[in-house]
Amino acid sequence: MANRRALSFICRAGMEFSWLLAWGNFVMVALYHKPFPPAEGLCIFTAAVALTSIHKGRNWRIVTVLFLQFMGTAFAASMLVHSFIYSSYRYLDYTWVLECFRWSQGIPEWFFLILILFLAVVYWLAGMRFAGRSGEYSSVCGRFDLGLAALFLLFLIKFMAFFKGGVVIQESVSTIMVFPFFCFGLTAIGLARNRSDAKREFLTGYRGIGMILSFVAVVLLIGTAGVTLLLPFLTKAAEVGYTLMQKTAEPLSPILIAILRFLFVGRSLRQEPSSPYRGLGAHPESSEPSGFLSMVLGWGFLGFAVIFFAVVFGVVLWFLVKWLFSRTDRDRTRFSQRNGLLWWMARLRAILYLLWEKIRLRLTGFREAVQLYRALVRWGRHSGLPRSATDTPLEYGLRLTNRFPALGTEIDAIINAFNLEVYGGTLLTGRQWTDARRAWRSLCNPLHWPSRLKSWFSGKQ
């Protein structure tokens, strides 16, 4: 069950990241002819999921959660800015941070920087929302529909740009991301649809074939989705390897290039333009007020607007402060009240009481048949055959006798003593009580430990 949850989590994350990477790469290539870095995008998405999973359901203050998320978003933004603009510096070198604050460029460069920050925030928010989303069937289907609509809209924009404006956007990542999206998405839907814990049986003679077909289908889907999702990484690694091979084996480069072109016929590698920015923005038109009446009306409206927004700002600020210092909900199914002093005192009391009962029974022995029956239940549980909630004492005794035929007499003696005392209302005589205690001592004999150990590996219940 845990492996199924982990597989479903990976498939849902792959489905979500596929269409996000397709849109991110499309936007960057369409506007600035620069591909979106898939490694940084995956790192941002994964970090957001991990950080949100840490504080989810822990009843932390909202201001603490917002501080952590703000720091995470700043980390995501710094990764993308470093990857796009300051990739020549090392990430841990603070020099590029100082250069970024001293950055003085024109409107296209500032728009490029704002777009990078916007994509970082979008990827981080997507990871946050994914970590808080359930893996139920309806939720998975809803996300699949949303991703499908996002990809359809992306291809519709590319189609309209080509046929209406004659603009060809040279990027293939969005097309490649369709395959991992469908593979991960359909696998996640199938896993969410079949989340029942019921045991499934194959038809007689078809168990091996069914298991092989299931394994092959999962491997094909996950393998295809993983390879296509990592294709941008592999392409970048191939380009780096090609450049390294070209520099280290320069004398043999003509021969090697001829062999590679003969084996792998495809598109030739090309160098993307460095940073062709497109100018955006328009000069706002200015208009001068005319006349005394226009000036009075303008100042009056300005004063009313200032008062109105001051009142609104005060009310919003009050509710914001109140909300920041409130607490998030506690997930009681995940985190119980184990940190409280009362809980630890109750646990300590229960442990001390259990130890006292064991010591008292060792010193004084059993005094009632109920105590013997409870000891028999513990003995059966430690022997690999726990008592079911619906078992009567007689039924449980029969199950123990079937598992340990050699101890049937001793088990029957304890069960009969319990039935006489509890259901029959009969006080046990000296001989009956002596037989029951002798039966218990026989059950605890170390000679029976091998059969009890063997019972753990038996499939019978």
Average pLDDT of span 88-112: 77
Question: How many CB atoms lie under 10 A from the CB of residue 44?
Answer: 27
What is residue 30's predicted lDDT score, i.e. its pLDDT? 85
Please give the backbone phi and psi of residue 330, each rounded to the nearest 5 degrees, phi first. Answer: -100, 130
Asked if pLDDT for residue 445 goes beyond 70, the answer is yes
Q: How confident is the model at residue 241 (pLDDT cuts 50, 70, 90)?
A: low
Range scoring the smallest mean pLDDT among 149-153, 172-176, 219-223, 448-452: 219-223
Average pLDDT of span 376-398: 85
What is residue 108's predicted lDDT score, i.e. its pLDDT? 79
Q: How confident is the model at residue 269 (pLDDT cuts 50, 70, 90)?
A: very low
Asked if pLDDT for residue 418 goes beyond 80, the answer is yes
DSSP state of 57: T
Q: Measured between alpha carbons, how far is residue 316 from residues 67, 69, 311, 360 in Å?
A: 20, 21, 9, 65
CB 19 within 8 A of CB 144: no
What is residue 280's predicted lDDT score, i.e. its pLDDT? 40
Residue whose token pair is 């996640």: 188
Average pLDDT of span 208-227: 59
pTM equals 0.48
What is residue 132's predicted lDDT score, i.e. its pLDDT? 84
Q: Which residues contact 344 (CB under 8 A, 6 or more apart)?
A: 338
Range scoring the smallest mean pLDDT among 81-85, 282-286, 300-304, 355-359: 282-286
Asked if pLDDT for residue 264 goes beyond 70, the answer is no
Average pLDDT of span 186-195: 78
Strand partners, 58: 330
Give the ranges where 85-172 is alpha helix by DSSP (H).
Answer: 95-101, 107-131, 137-165
Asked if pLDDT for residue 278 goes beyond 70, the answer is no
Asked if pLDDT for residue 414 goes beyond 60, the answer is yes
What is residue 277's predicted lDDT score, i.e. its pLDDT? 43
Q: What is the mean pLDDT of the chain?
A: 75
Range scoring the smallest mean pLDDT among 175-189, 296-310, 400-414, 437-451: 296-310
The span from the CA of 282 to the CA of 332, in Å, is 55
What is residue 359's predicted lDDT score, i.e. its pLDDT? 73
Average pLDDT of span 125-148: 87
Please give the backbone phi and psi of residue 58, each rounded to the nearest 5 degrees, phi first. Answer: -100, 5
pLDDT over 70, % of the chain: 68
What is residue 215's predicted lDDT score, i.e. its pLDDT? 56
Average pLDDT of span 262-286: 47
What is residue 206's predicted lDDT score, i.e. its pLDDT? 46
Extended beta strands in 140-291, E state: none
Long-range Cβ pairs for the range 283-291 (8 Å, 24+): none
Note the pLDDT tens digit of each residue in 1-15. 566 778 888 888 888
What is residue 100's predicted lDDT score, i.e. its pLDDT? 75
CA dihedral 19, 25, 26, 31 (to 10 degrees): 150
Asked if pLDDT for residue 442 goes beyond 50, the answer is yes
Asked if pLDDT for residue 283 goes beyond 50, the answer is no
